Structure 1
Amino acid sequence: MINTFFNSGSLDTPASFIVSLIIGIAFGAVLERAGFGSSRRLSGIFYFRDMAVLKVMFTAVIVSMLGISFAKAFGWVTVENVFFLNTIYAAQILGGLIFGVGFVMSGWCPGTGAVGLASGRIDALVFLIGAVIGGMVYNEAYPLMSKLQTPDQGILFVYDSLGVSEGSFGFVMILIALGCFWGAEYIEKNQGLDSQWGKKFLKIFSVVLIGGGVGLLAIPGNQANSGHDAVIPLSENKVLEDIHTGKDHIEPQELADRLIAGDQSIKLVDIRTAEEFNRFHLRSASNIQLVDLVKTLEPKKDKGLIILYSNGMTHPAQARDSMFRSGFNNVYFLTDGLEGFLNSCLKPVSLRSEPVPPLMATKINAWRAYFLEPVTSTANASKPPTSQEDVSSVPLNLPGIVDTEWLNENLEKPEIKIIDLRSQPEYNSGHIPGSLSLNLESFRGLVQGNPSCLLPQSMLSDHFSMMGISPDDMLVIVCTEKFQDATLIGMACERLQHERYAILRGGFPKWKTENRPQNTILPQVTPSKYPVPNQPDTFTAEAGDVLALIGKPRSIIIDVRPEDYFTGKKKDEARGGHIPGAINLPFSEDIEKFESFSAFKPVNDLENRYKKVSLDKATPIIVHCRTGHQASQTYFILVRLLGYTNIKWYDAGWTEWAAKQQLPVE
C-alpha cells in the first residue's frame, strides 16, 4: 500500500517539498501547454469560442476519479491515505459562486494566473494582486461569514448524499463528461477551429472512458445498492468502521515501544486535570483539557498520530469520536487508559500474578527504565502512580523540577549532565561532582540589533557540542537563588527541542545546606555533535506579534518586571512605562524563601495566581520583561509546571520596545 505524505504526517519534510515542487512544475507546464497562459483563451469558453477549459478540467476530474477508485480497488491506497475536504455546503457553494464570478470578470483563476504570470502576462499580475487584496478583505470580513462553517458534516461524498453507489455515480459522471466533450468539439467545429469532431481519436477516447465506467461498476462494493432506507454520513460510518476494526485505539505496549524508539510522529495528549497531570504523566505528554482539544491541536490535524489518554477510556474515546467529526482523521485513544498502561507496561515483573517469559521481562525492564525515574520531590507531589503497586520510583515530569535527593542518587549515571550557573570563583571553590561550569551570558548576544537575546539554534548547538551534551542526555540546571538564570538555560533547551532537562529545587544553596557531596575536580569532557533542529522554534515572539495582540479579545500580554518599572516610576531603557493593555505580574512573586534557600511556590499557589488573569490554558499569552531573562521564568512556570499551551516569549522585550519610538507606550 502507498503510504502518502499526508497519511504519514510528513508533509513538512524536504522529500515532500521536492515532490510537491516537481508536481507543481509539471502542473504548470500542462496548463501552459493547454493554452491556460492566456486569459483570452480561458475566457473563450464563456463566448463558446474556445472550449479548452471545459475539456481540460473535465479530463482532470474524470482521470482523478478513475485513478482513486481503481487504486482503492487494487489496495494501493485507502480513504485514510487521501486528503478530502470536509463537507460544508453553504460555504462551498458561496465560494464556488465567488470563484466563478472572478473567473468571468478576469479570465483567470489562481492557478492559471500563476501560469500567466510565468508567461509574462501583465493582466495575470493584476489578477493575482487583486486575489491577495481579496484574501485580506475576506480575512477582515471572516467574523461575518463564519456562520457559513456550519453545519460541518465531516467528509461526505455526493453519491452518499444521493443514496447511490460510487460506481453508479462515477459512470454517470463519465457519460456527462462525454456529452460535454462531444458538444465542445461540435462547437469548435462550427467556429472553424481545429476540432476532433468525427475523428478517430474522439471515438477511441470515448470507448476508453466508457470502459473505465463499466470497470467502476464491476469493482466489488461499487455496485448499485437497492433498498437503502437511509444513508449514514461518511463521518459516522467511518467512526463505526474504525471501532469495528480497532483503528480508533492503540495498545499500551505498542505505544511504549514507539515512544522508546523515538517515534516523532506521535503527539501524546493527557486530558486529565492539571493537578493529576502534574502529579504523574507519561513521558512526552502534553496536558490539554477536553474543551481546548480541537483549538489547540489544529496545527497537528492529520499530521502524524494524536493519542489521547486519561485514567480510563471513556472520555478519551468520546473525545476521539468528537474530534473525528471535526475533521481529525489521525486521533486515537490509549486502550485501558493510564491505569492499563501502568499495569501492562510498568508493573514490576516480581508483582505479576502470572510467570513472565524472559523476553517480555526484558521489555518490561526497558519500559520501566524509560518511563520511570527515582522519586522526585517537586512542589506538586511525589507519590507512586497507584497505591496497589510497590513502585519505588515515579516518572520525572520533564521538563520540570528535581529535588536534591533524586540528583544525589543519580550522580553516577553517565546520561546525567549537571550545569552549574554560579560564578566561576564559586564553582572553583566547590561544586556538585561532575558538574559543568557555564556562564549564562555565553548563551546570549546581539541578535537583529537587540542586545542580550538568546542565541540562534546553530550557535546554541555548538555550545552544547563543546559541553559534550547529546540529545538523550538528562540536563540538571543548578543556580543560586536566581531561578531566572536556570529557566533562561531552559529556553536554550527549548530552542534546541531538548526536553530532557530539569531545574534543581533550591539550587546549590539547598544542596550545600544538606551537606551533600562537593569537589573541585574539573570533569573530562568529550565534545559531541549536537544536531541543529530542522525547524525554528515556535515560541519566540517578535515586536510585530506583540503589537498584533494589543487590544485583541481573549489575549493577554504579561509584563513580569518589578512594579516600579511597569508604571514608569523607574526606567533603565529609552522610555519608561509598559506596553498598552499589558498586565503586571512580577516574576519574583512566584518564588518563596526558606531559611537557607529559595524555591518555586507550590503548583496550586501558582495555578491560583495565573488563573485570575487567564481565561483558560489555551488563552494566547505573550510574556516579556526587559531582556527575556525574567520572563523565561514565567514561561517555564506557565508551560512546564501549569500546562498552558499557547504561550509565547518576547525575548527582545522592553529593551527593543522602548527604543522603537513608533511602538506605543503607556
Structure 2
Amino acid sequence: MAYIIGVSFGWVLERAGFGSSRRLSAIFYFRDMTVLKVMFTAVITAMIGLIYCINLGIIDPAGLYYMPSVYGAQIAGGLIFGAGFVMGGWCPGTAAVGMASGKIDAFLFIVGSFAGSILFNESFSLIKPLYTMGDSGVSFAYSALGMSQPAFAFLFTLVAVACFWGSEYVERAVSGTGEYLGTPFLKAFSLALVSCAAMLFVFTGSAREASGEMDPGSGAAPPPAISEAAILEGVGEAADHIEPEELADALADGEKGLLVVDVRPPDEFRKFNIRGAVNVELKDLADFIRPYKNSGRVVLYSNGMTHPAQARDSLARLGYQNVYILTDGLAGFTERCLKPVSLRKEPLSASDAGKVAKWRRFFNAAGTAGVIAGDGAAADKTDAPAAPVLKTEVPPATANLRLVETVWLKDKLGSAGLKIIDLRPQPEYNRSHIPGAMSLNVESIRGFVDAVPSMLLPAKMLVEHFSMLGLSGTDHVVICYGDKPHDAAIFAIALERVGHAGYSILNGGFAKWEAEKYPVDNRLPAVTRSEYPLPKGPDDFSVGYKKVLEASSSKSAVIIDVRPSEFYSGKKSDEARAGHIPGALNRPYTEDIVKTADIASLKPVDELEKEYLKIVPSRETEIIIHCRTGHQASQTFFVMKSLLGYKNVKWYDGGWTEWSSKEELPIEK
C-alpha cells in the first residue's frame, strides 16, 4: 500500500508540473504560482478532512503524531530550507520526482541533501542547543490564538481562498496567464472550500460535547489522546486511582507489566519506599516512562497525591491511558496495608486479616525497601504501641534501579521483557548461569576506532550486537558480571550509547547469586533475533582528547583519573608515556568496591556519596572520567551518574592510551 501511495503521489506531483525546477522556481519571480496553489490546497484539504475524520471516529487522534513546536530549530530549518529551494529549484520530494524523470540537476540536489544530512549528523554536538531551542511541546495554532478549532479552520480557509484569487491575479499581471481568474471553476472551488469549513461549526459541536475539543499537549510526545473533559470525567469516577489494597495484591502476586514509580526526592526514597518501586523525579518522568506507554499499568505515588495527580493528568494529555495514582499516597498505603491488625481501630474479618499478614510478609521481606518493624502474625498479636518505620538506608536493590540486589532479580525471573546478560568467560557460563541468561564476551563490544584500540564500538555496530541478542528498546536488561563490576559498567555504557533506558547491574554478580543458592541452569536460552533501533544522533557523554585538553587548560571541569595510584604518579607505565593529564585528580576505581570472599560488590550508596562529595561537592560540576582504555572509568562513570546523581558527567574513552601517544599533549608526573 505504501508503495502504491508513493508512486501515485509522485505521479500527481509530475502532473502538477513539479518535475520541473524551472516551474518550481518560477514562484520566486511571480510568473507561475502553482507551488502556492497546490500546497495550499493540500494543507486545506488535509486540515478539513482530518477534523471530519476524527469527529466521525474514522481516525483515532491517539494514533497520530503531532510535531512539537521547537521554534529555534524550526525557524532556522525553515530559513535553510527556503535558501536551498531558491538556489536549487527543488525540495527533497520534488527532486525525487525530477530524478525519476531523468533530471540531472534533481540528481545533484538529492546528492547534496544526503551530504547535508551527513554534515548535520557529524556536527550535531555543536548545533544541539539550537536543535532544542524554544521547545514548547505540542501546541495548536488555534489554541495559541485563543480561538475555537472550527473558527481557526474557517479563517485559515478564507486566507487560502484569498491566496488562490491573488495568485491568479499576480500571474495575469506578470506573465499574462492566470487563466482561472474570475472563472466559474474558481468560484465553485472557493465556495466548496468555504462551505466545508463553515460546516465544521455545526458538525463538531455535538462531537466536542461528547469527547472534548482537541487540546494542545506538551513535550515531544504524541498528541493528546484524551480531552480535558474526558480527564475530568475520569477524575470524577476515580478511574485515575488505584487503591492501596489493589496495589499491594498486584505487587505481592507479581503482576506482569506493573511499574510502580515513586516521584519523591531520592533522599526521601532511600529512607522508605514501597518494595519494587522505581525512584524517578518528576523532571525526568516523561523520558523515563516513554517505553511503558499504554503497556501494562503504571502507578505513581508520593507522600500525598498532589504531585502524582498533576503528573498523571499531564501524561494523559500526551496519550497515556495506563497511568494511575495511588489513593492517599505512601501514608495511606502504610496505614491501610502495613499497619498491624491489632493496632487498628476497627476489627477486621479473618479474610482481611489474612491479607494484611500476607502484605506485611511480602513488603517486610529481608533485603527489600520499605522495611517495617515487627513482622507477620507475631506483630498482629501484640498490643504494643505502633511500631515505627525503620529509618534504615534502602539497599541499592530498590534505592536505585540501576543497581539491583540478587533478591530483586530472583523475584523478577521469568517476567516479560526481562533480559539477563552474563559477561563472564564462556566456560564459566556454560557450566552454570542464571536461568535465561545470555552469554556475551565484553570485549566484543570494543574495538579499534579512530586509530585507538579498545574503544567502545559505534552505535551502529552495537545495535547489531543487541539485535543478535534479541533485545528490544523496551526490554529491561540485567547485567551480570563475574569478579569485575567494571565489566558490567562498560556494557551499561554501551546501552547508554544507544539510548536504552531500562537496565540494571546485578550487585555482587554471579558469585553472590550462586552463594545465596538461587536457581541456576546450564541450558542455552532460545533467542529470536530482533531489529534494535539505531539512535538518531551521537551520545551526549563521550568526549575526545580535544575536549579534555580544553578542560585541563581552562580548569573548566574536574578530571578524574581512576587508574591505580602508581600509574597516575608515573612510577609505573604500560603506555607510550608515564604520568597523568595536568590537573587531573586520582581516585582509583578499586576504592568503590568491597570484596567478601569471592564476591566483588559496589560499596553502599551512602558511603560512596560521602567519599565523592569530598572530591566534587556540587552535583552540577562538569566531570570528565578516564582510565587507560575507558573500561575501569566506566565503573566510576556509572557510580557518579547513575547512583549518586551527578548531572554533568563525561567519559573519555580514549583515556591514557590515546593521550600518552600524542606527543603534543602535556603530561604531569
| TM-score bracket for this pair, using the shorter chain length | 0.5 to 0.7
* AA at the equivalent of 1:604: D
User: Does the C-alpha gap of structure 1 residues 385 and 298 become closer, same or farther in structure 2, counting only changes over 3 Å?
Assistant: closer
Q: Residues of 2 paired with 1:205 and 1:246: CA distance?
A: 44
Alignment-derived partner of residue 637 in structure 1: 639
Q: 570, 573, 596: which one pairs with 2:572?
A: 570
Q: What is the aligned partner in structure 2 of residue 546 from structure 1?
A: 544
Kindly tell me: are residues 283 and 665 of structure 1, through their superposed partners in 2, closer, same or farther at Cα, counting changes over 3 Å?
Answer: farther
Letter in 2 for 1:609: E
Partner of 1:43: 25
Shift of 1:223: 11
2:635 alignment partner AA: Q
1:400 alignment partner in structure 2: 403
Q: Which whole-Å CA distance do the structure 2 matches of 1:533 and 1:618 have between them?
A: 38
Query: 2:200 aligns to what SS in structure 1?
Result: helix
Task: Select the residue among 525, 532, 535 that pairs with 1:535.
Answer: 532
Is 1:210 aligned to 2:194, yes or no?
A: yes
Query: 2: CA distance between counterparts of 1:108 and 1:486?
Result: 50
1:136-155 maps to which residues of 2 (within 5 A)?
149=134, 152=136, 155=139
Task: Give the letter aligned to residue 168 of structure 1.
Answer: A
Shift of 1:637: 3.0
CA 309–384 in structure 1, closer or farther in 2 if over 3 Å, else same? closer
Determine if the alignment matches structure 1 residue 335 to structure 2 residue 326.
Answer: yes
Are the aligned partners of 2:482 and 2:511 in contact in 1 as well (CA < 8 Å)? yes
Q: Distance in 2 between matches of 1:299 and 1:424?
A: 38
Going from structure 1 to structure 2, the CA distance change for 1:651 and 1:334 (only over 3 Å counts) comes to farther
Is 1:585 equivalent to 2:568 in the alignment? no
- Aligned partners of 1:517, 1:298: CA distance in 2, in Å? 33
Q: Deviation string for 1:249-290 (max 9, x for gaps)?
A: 563658997996765xx9865432334444566688654445
SS in 2 for 1:55: helix
Aligned: 1:59 with 2:57: no
CA distance in 2, matches of 1:454, 1:572: 20
Match of 1:165 in 2: 148
SS state of the match for residue 375, structure 1? Answer: coil
Aligned length: 601
C-alpha contact (below 8 Å) 2:433/2:510 kept by paired residues:
no
Paired letter, 1:565: F
Give the 5 Å matches for 1:170-181. Answer: 170-181=153-164
Which residue of the other structure, out of 215, 219, 227, is the alignment partner of 2:203?
A: 219
Gap change, CA 1:40 and 1:219, over 3 Å in 2: same
In the alignment, the residues of structure 2 paired with residue 347 and residue 26 of structure 1 have an alpha-carbon distance, to the nearest angstrom, of 68
Distance change (3 Å), C-alpha of 1:126 and 1:41: farther
Cα 1:303/1:652, change in 2 over 3 Å = farther
Letter matched to residue 535 of structure 1: Y
Q: Are the equivalent residues in 2 in contact too, given 1:478–1:508 (CA < 8 A)?
A: no
Answer yes or no: is the 8 Å Cα contact 1:506–1:598 preserved in 2. Answer: no
Q: What is the CA-CA distance between 1:410 and the residue it aligns to?
A: 7.4
The whole-number CA distance in structure 1 between the counterparts of 2:517 and 2:325 is 43
1:95 Cα deviation after fit: 7.0
The structure-2 alpha-carbon separation of the partners of 1:472 and 1:611, relative to structure 1 and needing over 3 Å to count, comes to closer
8 Å CA contact 1:565, 1:576 repeated in 2 = yes
Match of 1:297 in 2: 287
Structure 1 segment 112-127 matched on structure 2, within 5 A: 112=94, 119-121=103-105, 124=109
Structure 1 gaps of 5+ residues are: 1-17, 226-230, 377-381, 466-470
Q: Which aligned pairs between 1:448-597 and structure 2 lie closer than 5 A? A: 448-449=447-448, 479=483, 483-484=485-486, 499=503, 502-504=506-508, 525-531=522-528, 534-535=531-532, 545-547=543-545, 549-550=547-548, 551=550, 558-578=560-580, 583-592=585-594
Residues 489 and 635 in structure 2, CA contact (< 8 A), matched pair in contact too: yes
TM-score by length of 2: 0.64
2:50 alignment counterpart: 68
Structure 1 residues 659 and 31: CA distance shift in structure 2, 3 A: farther
Q: 1:244 aligns to what?
A: 232
CA distance in 1, matches of 2:653, 2:88: 46
Does 2:309 correspond to 1:312?
Answer: no
User: Is the contact made by 2:288 and 2:501 (CA closer than 8 Å) also made in structure 1?
Assistant: no
CA distance in 1, matches of 2:159, 2:513: 81
**1:48-447 → structure 2 map (5 Å cutoff):** 48-77=30-59, 81-85=63-67, 103=85, 107-109=89-91, 111-112=93-94, 119-121=103-105, 124=109, 128=113, 149=134, 152=136, 155-158=139-142, 160-185=143-168, 188=171, 191=175, 195-196=179-180, 202=186, 205-221=189-205, 241=229, 243-246=231-234, 249=240, 251=242, 263=257, 269-278=261-270, 287-290=279-282, 292-293=283-284, 297=287, 300=290, 308-318=300-310, 334-336=325-327, 337-338=329-330, 353=348, 374-376=365-367, 384-386=370-372, 390=376, 396-397=397-398, 398=401, 400=403, 402=405, 442-445=441-444, 447=446
1:212 to 1:571, Cα distance in 2 relative to 1, 3 A: same
SS at match of 1:334: strand
Distance 1:594-1:181 versus aligned 2 partners, 3 A rule: closer
The CA deviation at 1:114 is: 6.1
TM-superposed CA distance for 1:116, in Å, is: 5.4
Q: Tell me, in whole angstroms, the C-alpha distance in 2 between the residues paired with 1:127 and 1:385.
A: 62
CA offset digits 1:489-508 (Å, max 9, x no partner): 87799999984762339967
Equivalent pair of 2:85/2:91 in contact (CA under 8 Å): yes
Aligned to 2:386: none
CA distance in 2, matches of 1:47, 1:277: 65
Could you give the per-residue CA deviations for residues 588-631 of structure 1, whole angstroms, max 9, x where no partner exists? 22235789987543321211333456687687766442344433
Distance 1:91 1:346 in 2: 51
Letter of the 1:546 counterpart: G
Rate the CA distance shift 1:547–1:23 in 2: closer, same or farther, 3 A: farther
Q: Give, in whole Å, the separation in 2 of the partners of 1:40 and 1:256.
A: 70
8 Å CA contact 2:467–2:531 kept in 1: the answer is no
How does the TM-score come out when normalised to structure 1?
0.64
Query: Which whole-Å CA distance do the structure 2 matches of 1:581 and 1:299 have between them?
Result: 40
- SS of the residue corresponding to residue 448 of structure 1 reads strand
State whether residues 215 and 227 of structure 2, in contact with CA within 8 Å, keep that contact through their aligned partners in structure 1.
no
How far 1:53 moved relative to its partner? 0.9
Contact 2:544–2:653 (CA under 8 A) maintained in structure 1:
no
Instruction: Identify if the C-alpha distance between structure 1 residues 444 and 435 changes in structure 2 by more than 3 Å, giving closer, same or farther.
Output: same
Query: Counterparts of 1:488 and 1:153 in 2: how far apart (Å)?
Result: 34
Q: Which amino acid aligns with 1:170?
A: A
Q: What is the DSSP-based 3-state SS (H/G/I as helix, E as strand, rest coil) of the residue aligned with 1:36?
A: coil
Residue 584 (structure 1) shift: 3.3
Aligned-pair identity in percent equals 36
> What residue is the counterpart of 2:387 in the other structure?
none
Distance 1:474 1:139 in 2: 30
Local SS of the residue matching 2:506: strand
Contact 2:545 2:654 in 1 (8 A): no
Q: Deviations over 1:337-394 (max 9, x none)?
A: 445667889999999946769xx98xx98x999x969422xxxxx5644558759999
CA distance in 2, matches of 1:208, 1:83: 29
Letter in 1 for 2:524: P
Q: Deviation at 1:70?
A: 0.7
CA contact (8 A) 1:168 1:224 kept: no
The 3-state SS of whatever aligns with 1:630 is: helix
Which amino acid in structure 2 is aligned with residue 251 of structure 1? I
- 1:554 touches 1:615 (CA, 8 Å); kept in 2? no
